[in-house]
Amino acid sequence: MDTSAQSRKERLEEYVNYLASDELKGRGAATEGAVKARNFIAARYRECGLKPLYEGDFFVPFESKGTSYCNVVGVIEGGALKDEYIVLGAHYDHLGVKDGKMYPGADDNASGSAALIEIARELVARKDQLQRSVIIAAFDAEELGLFGSNSLAGFLDDLVGIKNVKLMMSVDMVGRYKGHGSLVMEGVATIRDGRVLASEMARSHSIKISPKNFETSVLTATDTQAFALKGVPTLAVSTGIHGQYHKPTDTPDLIDYDGLDNVSGYLADFALQAATDPDWQASGKVARKHNPKQPAVEFGVLGGVGGSSLSFPEAYISTKSMTDYSVGLVGRANVGVCGFQLEAYYENARSRFPSVDRPLGPSQIYSQQSVTVPAYLLIRTSKTRDAMFLGVGGYYSYAFTHSFSKADPGWDVNPHQGGIATVFGIKASGLLLQWSFRSQIGSLFAADAPQAKMGYASYITLGWFF
């Protein structure tokens, strides 16, 4: 295939149309379509003038869960700083065929794979300017769990030392610039002056970018993850999610090729800047989701829903609970796998209450509003930031108001309430999900009233640590 006479836009369109064609059947990892895709990409690498990274071949095989896959990796050798590296990557696999339907993946990620080839072409043409070496990596098996990038991060750590990788940029879904209106660049704060550099270069390309300090989503990950977890500054580049994401309708005719052309040129210049600037440095800042180290102290907000029942031990009666809710603050101190968690929140609790004059008749509703402070000693499954945990402790509640929906029996409510508390949950990338259980000690009402307890309250709570 001779593409030298074509424009960059024409080449990009040709690449996307082939990678998303019926012939490749969605490029499912470990399928014939994936083999054809990587052979196509390797041929374009040779055409561009890339050199293999390792042992004379672009193909760097690896295994995961007993299945063989293959990254396609080339390198452009730098100058005075050639032992330092910039890694540019895009995954070439997609979902393949499911239930008889082919998932072409034109944007996800034929667009990124196409852009990567043209970025490589630009950098080879300007290799005399390079100080650092540039690694161009097409990743396999991203859709199965980031297998390709995980493998390459470990491979490079052994081959060149991960501390010598000064930037990793993932180009994933960059074919919908016009529809999204900007190029999203997540991770600019991991690079010293990264936001300024990205924005100034965008102006020179007449391209609009949406720079974000860090990758923040706890539900998604891209090929930056394995590198970021090893301390490498990373940029996740995309034109965003759309209605055809992971659907058979992600087809080449929906790609904005003018936008893809402009994005490719911009990213090539950005990579050139990273590879030539002797003062290029990491900022030392890391996204929360990429920082496994737990902080010594952390604070957040939380809200919960649950229920609590009223029990009358002397009469062997327990009432039915109703929907309660709470909202407040949470703080933690962490030492190894141990910790201390303190919460303080407003709580609205309600429970059905038997009528005093007609115990067997229709019930009424007892409700109280309180400030509740649970405290737990925690045991965590890991010393890292993300871990499951189990806690035991106690709680104190001050009930500042209460009411009965019908006849008030005239009993004084004890505003000072407390008891035993336990909690179980998981914390991941700042999100907290926990189940808490409480049992009151002492009576809800004053001494001249029947003994009663706000017994066995349970809550499901969702929180966020800042």
Inter-residue contact 353 to 408 (CB < 8 Å) = no
As a whole number, mean pLDDT of residues 106-123 equals 98
Res 98: pLDDT: 95
As a whole number, mean pLDDT of residues 121-134 equals 97
Res 68: pLDDT: 97
Checking if the pLDDT of 358 tops 70, the result is no
Residue of 73 and 363 predicted with greater confidence: 73
Domains identified in the chain and CATH numbers: 8-289 (3.40.630.10), 297-465 (2.40.160.20)
Query: Where does the pLDDT of residue 126 fall: very low under 50, low under 70, confident under 90, or very high at 90 and above?
Result: very high
User: Any idea which of 137-146, 179-188, 427-436 has the lowest mean pLDDT?
Assistant: 427-436
Query: Where does the pLDDT of residue 314 fall: very low under 50, low under 70, confident under 90, or very high at 90 and above?
Result: low
Res 456: pLDDT: 74
Res 220: pLDDT: 78
As a whole number, mean pLDDT of residues 261-284 equals 96
pLDDT digits (tens, 9 = 90+) for 294-310: 889 999 999 999 988 87
Burial environment of residue 344 by CB neighbours within 10 A (0 to 12, 13 to 18, 19 or more): middle
Tokens of 98: 């499911």
pLDDT digits (tens, 9 = 90+) for 209-237: 999 999 988 777 899 999 999 999 999 99
Closest residue by Cα to residue 307 from 293, 320, 324, 294 = 324
As a whole number, mean pLDDT of residues 177-199 equals 96
As a whole number, mean pLDDT of residues 273-281 equals 95
